[in-house]
Amino acid sequence: MRRALPALAAAFLLTAGLSACGSNDKAQDPDAQGSDTGEHALEAAADRSVCRADAKPVDKPYGEGFPEAWSFPPQTTVYDVEDRGETGVIVTGVSSAPFKDILDYLNHDAVDAGFVVTEGETEEHDAEANWKSAQQVGRWAIRESGDCPGETVIQVFAAPPSS
């Protein structure tokens, strides 16, 4: 599995998009597993039907456990932060940037900032990936909004690595 991970990450970065099809059988990074972490945490997080025009921006920093180095793509309004204590922080935003631009940003700009993709999936209208940095592990998910045409919801989960 360790030998396959770099190949999976490379293939992931070359794809046109990632997928968050909602299936519970997706592999998860061991550091991001748990009852309210990783994929499951994002599914249970903030209301994803908020449109950018209605989003009330929250102030930075986004939570004690959220990485200061994380940046969201241009045209994004961060509107919800859920601090789940020791299990991590979930930040939700909505962007008017095109889905493919957001995907490109997360696969390049976020990686360049030190948030290395460890695995992910792609579909036409949604994407997700596990990531790790020197201090944290996490997961991001993006989905074209079903309620706000031309907008994309971005959710980022960050947690300390498991000991």
Q: What secondary structure letter does DSSP report for 24? A: T
What is the percentage of the chain residues whose pLDDT exceeds 90? 63
- CA-to-CA distance for 135 and 102, rounded, in angstroms? 24
pLDDT number for residue 45: 63
**Encoded tokens for 145:** 């909004």
Q: Looking at residues 66-92, what average pLDDT do you find?
A: 95
pTM over 0.85: no
Q: Give the H/E segment covering residue 43.
A: helix 38-43
- CA-to-CA distance for 116 and 31, rounded, in angstroms? 14
Domain that holds residue 139: 4-159
Residue whose structure tokens are 């922080």: 89
pLDDT number for residue 16: 29
* Tally of domains within the chain: 1
| Whether residue 148 has pLDDT greater than 60 | yes
Residues 6+ apart with CB under 8 A from 35: none
What is the percentage of the chain residues whose pLDDT exceeds 70? 71
Gyration radius from the chain CA atoms: 14
